[in-house]
């Protein structure tokens, strides 16, 4: 059995060696097919990962209790019953929810103006507690976020410790990291103060750097839109002074949002609060579903690509076997069984596919790194499981492509092939 298998392998090797053009063409088809699959899968998986990361960074597991907005004495939006969240509610909310959440952060959001040198920018100022750090998924680009020891100074002339978003820092410096340690002059609610930057918050919205459509949000003035912009200066919360614009509740995971939301609704009911409850998960889930569809399209292209490889290699193999019909007939006459002539055909396809795998994957990675990443601007991702699955699928494709020629060989009647040349 082993001797037979070795003979089949040697025969397959001979077939490859004796027909270098055909073998090269088949291997090239396999390699190009594999590289295109790798580059398509890598691009789609990378895009999916990048978008998921960005969406997660935006807060897929966040619940916001938003106080109704007022313009002077005029309420904006749908009227609510109950009273807005005040300073006196914050302790109750924190006690009730801190055990089942990562953080409960009151946020006071104001529009303000910050100047440095000859540059001034209008942006949002967010006063919050150190717990807000858990909401900042990408983390810090440089320095640290506000901590317990960072307080608003009692003396108005003293410097206020502050953290700044990467995007806002980029308005003042070529390299946002240069903002660390810099003192800005700002105005909030008509009062001027000096802030010193203790940390630069990394911009979570990678897409915004590359997609001009997001620039449209710069003209928006709503809080959610401002949140998208991430042009924030983070300032210490003043417990005795600041009134929350909203309270941001960070659930441990997306799966916990529903249970936390239930607790929040019960709390709102019990405390008689008149707030809007905004759940990020709901809209991000829709976006993630779209991404999953995008990923499904990738898998369709993946299959389509393999089918094209199957057709091409199958055609080449079939043409090759048609050319070697007489040789097969001679082998059959000399004692080759059907298995003995079919096996080398199948093994030849499998061996060529194996030979093409390394170069195919390498070429695919080159396309990803040098061709696709610089254009799209996000890191491509190539899961090992996907690569292994693609290689297995290619191997199966190569064997499938050899089946037609193998069937042709198996059906061959050597006497009828060789008999055409007889003159009896």
Partner 1 sequence: MIVQMQNIRRIFGEGAARVVALDGIDLSIDPGEFIAIIGASGSGKSTLLQILGCLDRADEGSFFLDGRDVQSLSGSEMARVRNETIGFVFQSFHLLGDRDALENVSLPLEYRRGAVSSTRPREVLERVGLLDRITHRPSQLSAGERQRVAIARALVKEPRMVLCDEPTGNLDSDSGDQVLDLLSELRDELNTTLVLVTHDLQVARRADRVLTLKDGRWHA
Whole-angstrom Cα distance, residue 43 to residue 56?
20
- Interface segment toward partner 1; rule CB under 8 A; list 116-124, 170-178, 187-195, 328-336: 328-336
Length of the chain: 424
- Min dist CB 22 to partner 1, Å, is 12
In terms of DSSP bridges, do strands 74-76 and 183-188 run parallel, antiparallel, or are they unpaired?
A: unpaired
Cα separation, 283 vs 199, in Å, equals 30
Token pair belonging to 74: 């005029």
Binding mask 298-327 for partner 1 (x = CB under 8 A): ----------------------------xx
Site for partner 1 in 207-266 (CB under 8 A): none
SS3 84: coil
Among 149, 154, 189, 334, binds partner 1 (CB under 8 A): 334
Looking at 3, 21, 240, 375, which residue binds partner 1 (CB under 8 A)? 3
Query: Per-residue x/- marks for partner 1, 165-204, CB under 8 A?
Result: ----------------------------------------
Selected binder of partner 1 within 170, 331, 343, 400 (CB under 8 A) = 331
How many CB atoms within 10 Å of residue 299?
13
Q: Beta-carbon neighbour count of residue 308 at 10 Å?
A: 15
3 state DSSP class of 136? coil
DSSP string, 339-401: HHHHHHHHHHHHHHHHHHHHHHHHHHHHIIIIIIHHHH-S-----HHHHHHHHHHHHHHHHHH
| Segment interacting with partner 1 (CB under 8 A) among 53-61, 155-163, 282-290, 409-417 | 409-417
From candidates 82, 377, 383, 419, binder to partner 1 by CB under 8 A: 419
CB of 315 to partner 1, least distance (A): 22
Per-residue string for binding with partner 1, 336-375, x by CB under 8 A?
Answer: xxxxx-----------------------------------
Bridge partners (DSSP) of residue 183 are: 196
Question: What burial class does residue 81 get, using C-beta atoms within 10 Å of its C-beta: 0-12 exposed, 13-18 middle, 19+ buried?
Answer: exposed
Q: Does 89 bind partner 1 (CB under 8 A)?
A: no
Give the number of other Cβ atoms within 10 Å of residue 48's Cβ.
18
Cβ distance to partner 1 smaller for residue 11 or 398: 11
Cβ neighbours of residue 170 closer than 8 Å, sequence gap 6 or more: 176
- Of 366, 50, 58, residue with least CA distance to 210: 50
Q: Residue 110 or 326: which CB sits closer to partner 1?
A: 326
Q: Could you say which residues in the range 10-39 bind partner 1, by CB under 8 A?
A: 11, 18
Q: Which residues bind partner 1 (CB under 8 A)?
A: 3, 7, 11, 18, 326-327, 329-340, 413-415, 418-419, 421-424
């Amino acid at each position: 059995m082993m001797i037979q298998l070795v003979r089949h392998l040697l025969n397959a090797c001979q077939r490859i060696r004796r027909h270098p053009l055909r073998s090269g063409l088949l291997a090239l088809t396999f390699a190009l097919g594999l590289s295109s699959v790798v580059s398509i899968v890598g691009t789609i998986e990378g895009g999916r990962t990048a978008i998921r990361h960005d969406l997660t960074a935006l807060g897929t597991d966040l619940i916001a209790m938003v106080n109704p907005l007022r313009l002077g004495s005029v309420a904006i939006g749908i009227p609510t019953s109950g009273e807005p969240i005040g300073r006196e509610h914050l302790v109750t909310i924190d006690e009730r929810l801190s055990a089942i959440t990562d953080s409960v952060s009151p946020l006071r959001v104001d529009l303000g103006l910050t100047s440095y040198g000859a540059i001034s920018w209008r942006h949002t100022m967010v006063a919050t507690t150190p717990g807000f750090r858990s909401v900042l998924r990408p983390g810090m680009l440089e320095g640290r976020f506000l901590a317990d020891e960072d307080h608003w100074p009692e003396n108005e002339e003293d410097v206020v410790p502050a953290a700044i978003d990467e995007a806002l820092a980029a308005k003042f410096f070529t390299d946002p990291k240069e903002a660390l340690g810099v003192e800005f002059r700002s105005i909030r609610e008509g009062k001027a103060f000096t802030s010193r930057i203790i940390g630069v918050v990394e911009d979570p919205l990678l897409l915004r750097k590359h997609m001009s459509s997001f620039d449209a949000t710069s003209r928006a003035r709503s809080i959610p839109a401002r949140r998208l912009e991430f042009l924030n200066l983070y300032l210490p919360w003043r417990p005795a002074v600041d009134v929350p614009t909203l309270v941001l509740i960070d659930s441990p995971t997306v799966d916990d949002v529903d249970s936390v939301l239930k607790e929040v609704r019960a709390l709102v009911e019990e405390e008689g609060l008149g707030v809007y409850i905004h759940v990020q998960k709901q809209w991000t889930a829709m976006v993630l579903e779209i991404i999953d569809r995008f990923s499904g399209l990738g898998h369709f292209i993946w299959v389509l690509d393999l089918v094209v490889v199957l057709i091409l290699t199958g055609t080449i193999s079939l043409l090759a076997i048609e050319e070697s019909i007489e040789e097969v007939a001679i082998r059959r006459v000399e004692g080759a069984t059907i298995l003995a002539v079919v096996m080398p055909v199948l093994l030849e396809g499998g061996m060529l596919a194996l030979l093409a795998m390394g170069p195919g994957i390498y070429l695919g990675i080159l396309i990803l790194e040098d061709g696709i990443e610089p254009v799209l601007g996000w890191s491509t991702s190539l899961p090992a499981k996907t690569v292994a699955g693609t290689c297995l699928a290619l191997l199966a494709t190569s064997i499938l492509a050899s089946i037609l020629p193998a069937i042709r060989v198996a059906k061959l009647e050597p006497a009828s092939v060789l008999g055409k040349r007889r003159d009896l």
